[in-house]
């Protein structure tokens, strides 16, 4: 527990200033995290499947390339063209590897693709939310942290019905609903506090609550997806880069999914 608390404090001391600063500093940090998350996924796959060294390096290189391209597309309004180019490069280059490398079977190609798109889309989305505004990034983390904390406490207090017993046996329906409720409550409180100062999120409070519920749902989906990946490959954590907390994927699984939905909500013009 002491290790977990100390690591949590150190992570906060590092990431809070980085997210506040934003800009190229945050771009680089999130880019490195995207590549490392891809490394964690490929390393997990490698425990039960043959992943040739060339394929491993290919996955990490494409991860870094696509993160840069996606940021460019998000920040310059060329997202559609950028995504099409990324998919074409991924399909064509992956197909060449399937022909050139005997061990590169279709299921490995699918896994490598997941190791690229999952972290790239997640961390690029996190940067996009920060670029929309620090207040919106704060809202995102209020939602994900409230969901995580109160889903746990409500779950251990009154949880009786299992949410996804084959994926994460300890999670309950009651805990999940508690996470949704408190995410909405604390999001509204957060926006009301912001309105007392110079920084504000100028959307109706009912829409804040609705966005909080939707983002909270997606955050929980992200957590369950990561849990299913780990259960599939029979590992406790993606890595131990953050002692007591696991790996990059363990710490940011829900935030990445939440950020991806946030980008979609902004793109639809509901907020931002």
Read out DSSP for 126-179?
Answer: HHHHHHH-HHHHHHHHHHHHHHHHHHHHHHHHH--SEEETTTEEEEEHHHHHHH
pLDDT at 201: 81
For residues 52-71, average pLDDT:
91
The alpha carbons of the chain give a radius of gyration, in whole angstroms, of 19
Contact 96, 43 (CB under 8 A): no
pLDDT at position 82 over 70:
yes
∠176-37-254 over CA atoms, to 5°? 15
- Confidence at 272, pLDDT banded by 50, 70, 90: low
% of the chain beyond a pLDDT of 70: 99
CB-CB neighbours of 178 under 10 Å: 23
Tell me which residue of 182, 190, 189, 191 sits closest to 213, measured CA to CA: 182
1 sits in which H/E element: none
pLDDT digits 0-9 by tens, 230-251: 888 888 889 888 887 888 999 8
Tell me which residue of 205, 226, 245, 216 sits closest to 14, measured CA to CA: 245
∠168-171-176 over CA atoms, to 5°? 130
| All residues at 6 or more sequence positions from 34 whose CB lies less than 8 Å from its CB, including other chains | 63, 64, 67, 119, 120, 122, 123, 124
C-alpha dihedral sign at 185, 251, 50, 86: positive
For residues 31-45, average pLDDT:
94
pLDDT digits 0-9 by tens, 202-218: 788 999 999 999 999 99
| All residues at 6 or more sequence positions from 21 whose CB lies less than 8 Å from its CB, including other chains | none
Euclidean distance between CA atoms 54 and 128, whole angstroms: 31
pTM: 0.91
CB-CB neighbours of 53 under 10 Å: 7
pLDDT at 1: 65
Contact 17, 225 (CB under 8 A): no
- Strand runs labelled E in the chain: 162-164, 168-172
């Amino acid at each position: 527990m002491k290790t977990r608390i100390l690591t949590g404090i150190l992570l906060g001391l590092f990431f809070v200033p980085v997210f506040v600063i934003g800009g190229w500093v945050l771009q680089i940090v999130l880019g490195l995290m995207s590549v490392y998350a891809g490394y964690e996924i490929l390393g997990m796959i490698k425990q039960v499947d043959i992943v040739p060294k060339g394929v491993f390096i290919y996955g990490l290189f494409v991860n870094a390339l696509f993160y840069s391209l996606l940021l460019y597309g998000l920040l310059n309004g060329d997202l559609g063209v950028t995504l099409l180019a990324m998919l074409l490069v991924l399909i064509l280059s992956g197909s060449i590897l399937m022909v050139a490398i005997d061990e590169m079977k279709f299921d490995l190609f699918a896994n490598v693709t997941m190791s690229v798109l999952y972290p790239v889309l997640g961390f690029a989305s996190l940067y996009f939310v920060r670029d929309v505004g620090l207040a919106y990034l704060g809202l995102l983390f209020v939602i994900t942290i409230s969901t995580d904390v109160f889903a746990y406490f409500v779950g251990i207090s009154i949880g009786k019905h299992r949410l996804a017993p084959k994926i994460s046996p300890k999670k309950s329906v009651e805990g999940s609903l508690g996470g949704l409720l408190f995410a909405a409550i604390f999001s509204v409180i957060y926006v009301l506090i912001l309105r007392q100062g110079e920084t504000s999120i100028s959307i109706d409070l009912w829409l804040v609550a609705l966005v909080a519920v939707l983002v909270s749902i997606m955050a929980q989906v992200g957590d369950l997806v990561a849990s299913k990946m780990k259960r599939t490959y029979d590992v406790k954590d993606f890595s131990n880069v953050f002692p007591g907390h696991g790996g990059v994927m363990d710490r940011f699984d829900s935030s990445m999914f939440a950020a991806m939905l946030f980008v979609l909500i902004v793109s639809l013009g509901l907020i931002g």
